[in-house]
Structure 1
Amino acid sequence: MTTTHNGLGEPRGPDFQSAEGPHAAPPPQIPPALAGPKAPSRWGRIVGAGVLIVAVSAGTGGLAGWYAGGSGEPGTATVTRAAPAPDAPPGSLVSVAEHVRAGVVSVQAPRGGRTATGSGFVIDDRAHIITNSHVVAGASSVTVTGADGTRRTATVVGTDPSSDIAVLRVEPGPGLHPLVLGRSADVRVGEQVLAIGSPLGLAGSVTSGIVSAVDRQARIGGSQQSAVQTDASINPGNSGGPLVNSRGEVIGVNTAIATFEGGGSIGVGFAIPVDRAASVAERIISSSR
């Protein structure tokens, strides 16, 4: 039995879109020989205790150490260390991640005695932030945490549940850097992408992959809509965060994943195309003035 849900930012992060079909793989069966003993023997307990003692000894720097030359005398080991790593070249995924993370925030939205968590990203110098509508829907208050750890109270400028886009606003300040929005027409299947956000509450997490499809039908905002499909790992809490290309341009808003019942990411994630997200955000901001 499978269940279809709407997104990536419920109290524990995004809901899942379960992979459907009669051919879903059954859970793996563990052979009895690999299942492990039912209870440790006396010798098993002794060995376990021995491992623990060795670890503590090594940590205290007392009895455990290196012995050089087979002479039995304590000595020091000589190991080869790498030279200091050079700065990441411009345009590398490392430099892209460093730049983009500064514009990504974690979103916390309490409601009904629980707190929905998601992600978002800054889009202008007035500190407007795009996230998913389902992340902040029904929230009594919203706070965001930037890459520098600063928590800010956010105002919900507006939401559009049909597209699952919401716009927040905080007071501008250091540590909030707007990201550059790309163009949906420039997105290509096979190009490298990064998904950045707070999966499972792990703020500033970066995963990499490629664009798997550019016009995949997925359930977003309660209806079937075209989405950018990616195999970059997306999990609960990524909802509302950016999917960026190797130039650091946002090409989508991470929103949903497909999963087997009870599982996590299986490498099939969906993002709202950037052109649609930008159009909705601009409309929300304009109507609030």
Structure 2
Amino acid sequence: MTTEDFPALRGSLEERAPFWRRRTGVVVTSAALVAAVFGGVTGGVVGALNASSAEVAPVSSGPVAANASSTFDVSTVAARVLPSVVQVNVASAQGQGLGSGVVLTADGRILTNNHVVAGAQQVTVTLSDGKTVDATVVGTDPSSDLAILQASGVSGLTPATFGDSDQVKIGDQVVAIGSPEGLQGTVTSGIVSALDRTVTVPGTSTGRRGSSSVSYQAIQTDASINPGNSGGPLVDSAGRVVGINSAIYSPAADSGEAGSVGIGFAIPSNQVRQIIDRLG
């Protein structure tokens, strides 16, 4: 097992030291920071959410599939998975933000990162057909940075199929899908660069002084992941979800903003399935 423990983001966004940045694109309300719409601001800007304690119904992510075949056609993978990926839009006292999500059930259960919806006062999801509907946070697990939403008034959605992340190997080809910088339905591809990385990122603010960090064993990939990809799927060559995109490593730019340098991290699907079952 390889352990990489990088410092969490501290202080202002102008710090020059390398840091872990969460992948939530945030649109802030201050006119002086309008450029953040395009550059992205860390998900920590959104703050904390007092999520509903209501239990969620058990969700089915389909049977665990075997390892992907050697044939890799990104267009085929994209066509298969795009209907199961949504954009998550949030509004909070600090401003507006967005991330990505994965459809779990036909009636609108959606998986995303906890940091995408933390602090949200209003949540909507934009489906793959462009329709936007209201959504409610029905379960969160801040310690694993995962959350479950329920979209309102929907039916007939296409649930994603989850693969077995224990079968993922270094060098496997993968595809990341999401809404980087609000560009919904963006598809990027790469390989699995490493496994079992211990990733430590800042915890979401709870409104009390300080917040604990979040650590998990991650799949590392060089598929391009940027602000707004948080909560979207990392899929194998058969279109099966093997991870949930959550963080990247990036040196801070002069503006304090940063993008992909080919070091992205996803929470393994087997861990995700355990959290879904627990919340259910």
TM norm structure 2: 0.71
Aligned: 1:97 with 2:78: yes
Distance of 1:136 and 1:229 partners within structure 2: 23
Q: Give structure 2 stretches of 5+ with no counterpart.
A: 1-15, 28-39, 44-70, 204-212
Q: Which amino acid aligns with 2:157?
A: L
Q: Which amino acid aligns with 1:223?
A: V
Distance of 2:25 and 2:196 partners within structure 1: 25
Larger radius of gyration: 1
Distance of 2:25 and 2:126 partners within structure 1: 18
Aligned: 1:250 with 2:241: yes
Partner of 1:277: 272
User: 1:6/1:219 Cα in 2 relative to 1: closer, same or farther (>3 Å)?
Assistant: farther
Partner of 1:4: 19
Q: CA deviation at 1:162?
A: 0.7
Q: Which amino acid aligns with 1:260?
A: P
Distance of 2:229 and 2:17 partners within structure 1: 22
Q: Which amino acid aligns with 2:95?
A: R
Deviates more, 1:174-183 or 1:262-271: 174-183
Residues 8 and 236, structure 1, Cα contact 8 Å, conserved in 2: yes
Residues 21 and 248, structure 2, Cα contact 8 Å, conserved in 1: no
Q: CA deviation at 1:10?
A: 5.2
Q: Which amino acid aligns with 1:249?
A: R
Deviates more, 1:90-99 or 1:142-151: 90-99
**For each residue in 1:48-93, what CA deviation from the matched residue of structure 2 results, as whole angstroms up to 9, or x when unmatched?**
xxxxxxxxxxxxxxxxxxxxxxxxxxxxxxxxxxxxxxxxxx9622
Distance of 1:242 and 1:8 partners within structure 2: 13
Equivalence map 1:1-289=2 (5 Å):
1-5=16-20, 7-9=22-24, 11-12=26-27, 15=42, 92-171=73-152, 173=154, 176-220=157-201, 221=203, 222-262=213-253, 263-284=258-279, 286=280
Distance of 1:259 and 1:205 partners within structure 2: 20
Residues 102 and 177, structure 1, Cα contact 8 Å, conserved in 2: yes
User: 1:124/1:203 Cα in 2 relative to 1: closer, same or farther (>3 Å)?
Assistant: same
Q: CA deviation at 1:126?
A: 3.1
Distance of 2:153 and 2:165 partners within structure 1: 28
Q: Which amino acid aligns with 2:218?
A: A
Distance of 2:153 and 2:199 partners within structure 1: 35
User: 1:91/1:209 Cα in 2 relative to 1: closer, same or farther (>3 Å)?
Assistant: closer
Q: Which amino acid aligns with 1:144?
A: V
Query: Which has the bigger relative contact order, CA under 8 A and spacing at least 6?
Result: 2
Residues 10 and 134, structure 1, Cα contact 8 Å, conserved in 2: no
Distance of 2:127 and 2:25 partners within structure 1: 20
Distance of 1:212 and 1:91 partners within structure 2: 17
Identity of aligned residues (%): 47
TM norm structure 1: 0.69
Q: Which amino acid aligns with 1:208?
A: S
Distance of 1:129 and 1:245 partners within structure 2: 20
Deviates more, 1:201-210 or 1:212-221: 212-221
Distance of 2:152 and 2:261 partners within structure 1: 38
User: 1:178/1:91 Cα in 2 relative to 1: closer, same or farther (>3 Å)?
Assistant: farther
Q: Which amino acid aligns with 1:99?
A: R
Q: Which amino acid aligns with 1:282?
A: D
Q: CA deviation at 1:282?
A: 2.0
User: Cα RMSD (Å) of the superposition?
Assistant: 1.9
- SS, match of residue 225 in structure 1: strand
Residues 120 and 240, structure 1, Cα contact 8 Å, conserved in 2: yes
**For each residue in 1:17-44, what CA deviation from the matched residue of structure 2 results, as whole angstroms up to 9, or x when unmatched?**
xxxxxxxxxxxxxxxxxxxxxxxxxxxx
Work out the number of aligned pairs and report it: 212
Distance of 1:118 and 1:271 partners within structure 2: 14
Q: Give structure 1 stretches of 5+ with no counterpart.
A: 17-89
